Amino acid sequence: MTTLSLESLVAKVEAAYERIAATDRPEVWIHLRPKAEVLAEVAELANSIAQTKGNDSEAIAELPLAGTLFAVKGNIDLAGYQTTAACPTFGSVAEEDATAVARLRAAGAVPLGATNLDQFATGLVGQRSPYGAVRHAFLPGKISGGSSSGSAVAVSLGIVDFALGTDTAGSGRVPAAFHGLIGIKPTRGLISNHGVVPACRSLDVVTVMAAELELASKAAEVMTGFDPADPLSRVREQNFEVVARAQDTVIGIAKASQIGELAPGWAQRFEQYIAELASAGFQIVEVDIAPLLRVATMLYEGAFVAERYAAVGQWLDEHLNDSSEDGSPAIDPTVGKIITSAKNISAARLYKDFEELDIHRAYANRLFAQIDALLLPTTVELPTQAEVAAEPFAVNTRLGRFTNFANLLDLAAIAVPAGNVGAEPFGVQFVAPAFADEKLVGLAAMALGVEF
């Protein structure tokens, strides 16, 4: 059993800051809390643990995340720090933690700071930030993935145990896949968005990334719960039975022609992964995902992108020429173009897209009545920073091929590592209906061969 003494907690914090210095990745952080401030919080935590009669098992029950360090994506409120959403002139100092952060702290987790992201959570590349492009944790020249870029790298570098991201179009799952991490994208509304800068208010979800499934699941569980401060907060409306045996689990896979082009070696690794699941006893069935892929294109190419303008567009119109403290532009040009160009989308077009979405949602309901989960590659490639610079829109579009549809269709998803192709991590995701979150964790555990 882990010893939760003040000495062990202090040692962990000291090690984290030593790791930060050793890795020398300043672009990961927008705000890094002073070590003395974190140590003071750890001392308060140790005192709380001591109040549980000195019994570690009781402390773990009351403080299930005690002894863990986490990072907070920079569009989520961390009390005492400016919530910038990676825009230096945006936002204000948060007077209180976002609900998700507050619940984690109440469970004993300690935040180290706010991490960098694609500005206003707009992008899957991790390169769209005045605070610097976030490089991949261990592959020089490759991107980190976004928009929750700094959070993924902070976990991958071993600085924190887990990190919060957000996921509207894949922003939690893609960087997790690029770094061989677990990425839990919960059902919309199960984790409160109170204290989160919206990207697309009706579609955003707070996500968690960790190296271990058990920790990621525990953090998600701690954050889950109705919050009256969030008008879109939901209670679990349906309970899905957690499947105990692979033999009782039906996994849908797309037709090979619908997967499209993947990075060299990725298609072969995906086929091997499917074969491994089949050998483990999972029932594999081929399904048609064309309607889902169509929905994926609607997120940015349709009227739904107007919700990004509704979130921060008016502010952007007034601040496009803002400068950072060093004189550089405060607004990323790619992000600014995406958001401001959505200003004049008509209501008629939006309702037309809602009509089409309803048709595809009905198809998704029929599809998931036949399978327990859909298996897909999380994304299609791991680009270089130069490739993204050369084609910022095209690369980003490709990366969201298998992630963009989930929130529009009100689906839950979990990204899991599935080995490597050469030096590159390869990741897959399991997708299931809304409120099947616990079922997805159980399925992922079976696929990974872990128990907890």
Instruction: Give me the active site residues, please.
Output: 73, 147, 171
Tokens of 9: 């907690």
d(CA 333, CA 368): 40
d(CA 415, CA 427): 7
What amino acid occupies position 410?
D
| Alpha carbon 387 to chain centroid, angstroms | 23
Termini Cα distance of the chain: 15
What amino acid occupies position 348?
A
SS3 150: helix
Computed on alpha carbons and rounded to an integer, the radius of gyration of the chain in Å comes to: 21
Q: What is the DSSP string of 282-298?
A: -EEEEE--HHHHHHHHH
SS3 30: strand
* Rounded alpha-carbon distances, angstroms, from residue 393 to 122, 222, 337, 357: 11, 36, 11, 23
Contact 249, 445 (CB under 8 A): no
d(CA 106, CA 277): 38
Residue for token pair 């299931």? 432
